Structure 1
């Protein structure tokens, strides 16, 4: 089966769906290729700072999130070594927009709801891209299910091991020296915490938590490590610490 498209976006995550919606807003139709069988709504949460919220406002979806999540007005950073606590004020510092912590699932759904049902092709794992110079569509995409898509424009939003990046000849990803562990904790009877960011710093280790609502808490830990040091036992020991 051969399909012809003007614009193909590889990757149906936040970047891919946001790109598709931005194109739709200016009248350009695109096809998003997602290797999963459905919208991948797994994952913890993320903090949307003013620039991200303004971008989502331009896409016409920010109201879906700001109506159900409480903006973060301030936070505290505690130095574990000496016990000092620094207050960080967020409210009104950037265009009167405060950061907001949201579920990754909620953001993905907010974006996908604005796209037509045929805009995302699921179970479409890209295996190879060929360059064709003598036809109207310079890129030929081969999918693992045998489908072939001819495209005039290919946009790569397919993550760290990007097939599109490899096709463009970009360098392989390198280890950044940083690891992060993130999760969600649910308190069925409520956590009773204020809507504030709490961070704890001890050398290269930074941990913290942010309430998403009355019952859910987004938490994280980030630290520097080499690839060999970043084993699961070491990560667990840091979490226990």
Structure 2
């Protein structure tokens, strides 16, 4: 990662969170060279577990990240619906199209960051660069 403000890029993305990193990988897959500007000087794995819904899993699969994602998280095979006090209301098996993956948010972000750096190079993420506006 670089703190250099010089950029040769087709697109500038503000923020190296899950959305910004995924956007960079998606653009790169389409032949568009993005650069990500992140205001923090160091990107740290923060957060709690999240549950990736099927559309998110599909996007990461198309980006050739499914295997890495499944090593990082836990695929779900069923859903249980509970009342507030914990009483089971319903349970069902999820089809492959409905599969979700539970993963720690910070670990997912690190996986995406590592992939961006692998595929786009070390200058694709610029830390310590605040974006104040756009046009």
For the criterion TM > 0.5, the same-fold answer is: yes
Match of 1:7 in 2: 11
Report the equivalent of 1:79.
Answer: 83
**Runs of 5+ consecutive residues of structure 1 not aligned to the other structure:** 130-138, 140-241
Q: 2:100 corresponds to which residue?
A: 99
Partner of 1:113: 114
1:24-173 matches, within 5 Å, as: 24-80=28-84, 84-92=87-95, 95=97, 97-115=98-116, 116-129=121-134, 139=135
Change (3 A) 1:98 1:2: closer
**Cα distance between partner residues in 1 of 2:42 and 2:79:** 36
Greater length-normalized contact order (CA 8 Å, ≥ 6 residues apart): 2
> Normalising by structure 2, what TM-score?
0.80
Larger-Rg structure:
1
Structure with bigger strand share is 1
Q: Is the 8 A contact 1:73 1:90 kept in 2?
A: yes
Instruction: Give the 3-state SS of the residue equivalent to 1:101 in structure 2.
Output: strand
User: CA 1:2–1:61 in structure 2 vs 1: closer, same or farther (change >3 Å)?
Assistant: closer
RMSD (CA atoms): 2.2
Please tell me whether the aligned partners of residues 13 and 20 of structure 2 are also in contact (alpha carbons under 8 angstroms): yes
Unaligned runs of 5+ in 2: none
Contact 2:49–2:105 under 8 Å retained in 1 = yes
Q: Which has the higher helix share?
A: 2
Matched residue SS, 2:132: strand
Output the TM-score relative to the length of structure 1: 0.47
